[in-house]
Amino acid sequence: MPRYRLTIEYDGTPFVGWQVQPDGVSVQGALESAITKLTGEQVGIRGAGRTDSGVHARGQVAHFDLEKEWPADKIRDGLNYYLKPLPVVILEARPAPDDFDARFSATARHYLYRILTRRAPPALERHRVWWIPRAIDADAMRDAASVLVGRHDFTTFRAAACQAKSPLRTLDRLDVTREGDEIRVYASARSFLHNQVRSMVGSLRLVGDGRWTRDDLAHALEARDRTACGPVAPASGLYLMAVDYPPSPGNPEQTA
C-alpha cells in the first residue's frame, strides 16, 4: 500500500482547525474529501501538528495511504484542483516509506508568531497578525524569552484541556526580532503542548508592555500554574512554518 507525504500551506481563518470537528470545516476534512474526489478512495490523513482554529501553516506535513499507486505530481495538482476555493494548497507531494509518520517521525517543529505594532490597523494582513496599536519593547521580550529556552515543566504555558501526558518539553529556540512595525517570535521544539506558543507570546507581550520583567516571566514558569500565565495571544498571528524529519535514503533533506 503506497504512502504519500504532503507539504501543505493554508490560511486557517475559515477553518475550525486541523482536526475534524462535529461542526465546521477542518483542514483535515477538506484534504480527506479532496483525496476521495481525486482517487475514489476514502482515507484518513495524519498531520504533523494539530493547529487550532485560525492558526495558519506554511509548511504543515501530512501522510496518507492509497490502494493504488499515483504519480506524486498528479496527487499534488489533483488535490489542489479539488481543494478550490478553500485557502489550502499542496506545495509538494512525494512517496514516503512505509514507516514514515507525519506526526511521530518528526524531530522538530518550527513556529512563527507575528505581531503588528502600529497605530493603523492591518488591511492586507487582517487575520494574519496580532495587531497591537502601539510600540512595545522587542529587546526586552528577546531578553526575557531566553529564560524559557531549555527543558522545563511548561504547565503554566499549556491549555487547561491539554491532553499531553507530561508538561515537560525541551524548547530549542525562542527568539524575538523586529522588522519595521512587525515583531516576530520564532519558536522551535520537537513537540509543543496545546497553546504553548500562544501562551508564551502572550506573556512576552506583557514584558514588551513593561508590565512584566524577565524575572516575572521566570517566576511564572517556576509557578507551574496555568493561572500564572499572561493572556493567551490570538490564533491569527501563529504559523506552523516547517517540520523536520530524519534523512531517509534518496531523501537527504530533513526539513519539509
| Residue 129, all three cell numbers | 497578525
Facing residues of 88 across strands? 10
- Write down the residue that cell numbers 520564532 correspond to: 186
β-pairing, 56-65 with 238-244?
parallel
Rounded to an integer, what is the distance from CA 72 to the centroid of its chain?
Answer: 25
Give catalytic status of residue 52 as yes or no.
Answer: yes
Choose, from 52, 209, 215, 216, the residue flagged as catalytic: 52
* Residue 118 CB neighbours (<10 A): 14
Amino acid in the structure at residue 15: F
Decide: residue 163, CB within 10 A, 0-12 exposed, 13-18 middle, 19+ buried. Answer: exposed
Q: What secondary structure letter does DSSP report for 213?
A: -
Distance CA 48, CA 104 (A): 8
Q: Which positions are annotated as active-site residues?
A: 52
